[in-house]
Amino acid sequence: MLFAVRMDVALPLDMDPGVRADTLAREKAYSQELQRAGEWPSIWRCVGQYSNLSIFDVVDNERLHEILWNLPLFPYMTIDVTPLAMHPSDIAAN
């Protein structure tokens, strides 16, 4: 199942620099592991914002839920999930 997921991050301004660095390093490692596994095939930065738009390719809703809840930055995110379906005009679908 394909999902478009927008993640907006709002880290506390007074976050301890060491905690911030550790959280960001764990987030990067976790996301890259999922990218290599094929479950997070695409991630795009939203220009001028601390946000990304990502495509997830997972077996079901539960797997996406598990992935998102395990993001180290999850407590600091606002997340919007959109399930995707093939468009009949997509030339790649034929």
pTM of the model: 0.92
C-alpha–C-alpha distance, residues 76 and 38, integer Å: 25
Q: 39: Cβ–Cβ under 8 A, 6 or more apart, which residues?
A: 56, 57, 58, 63, 67
In 3D space, the residue among 14, 10, 2 whose CA is nearest the CA of residue 73 turns out to be 10
**CATH superfamily assigned to domain 2-85:** Dimeric alpha+beta barrel (3.30.70.1060)
Mean pLDDT for the stretch of residues 7-34: 98
Residue 34: how many other CB atoms lie within 10 Å: 19
76 close to 68: Cβ distance less than 8 angstroms: no
**pLDDT tens profile 62-91:** 999 999 999 999 999 999 999 999 999 999
pLDDT value of residue 92: 84
Mean pLDDT for the stretch of residues 40-68: 98
pLDDT value of residue 20: 98
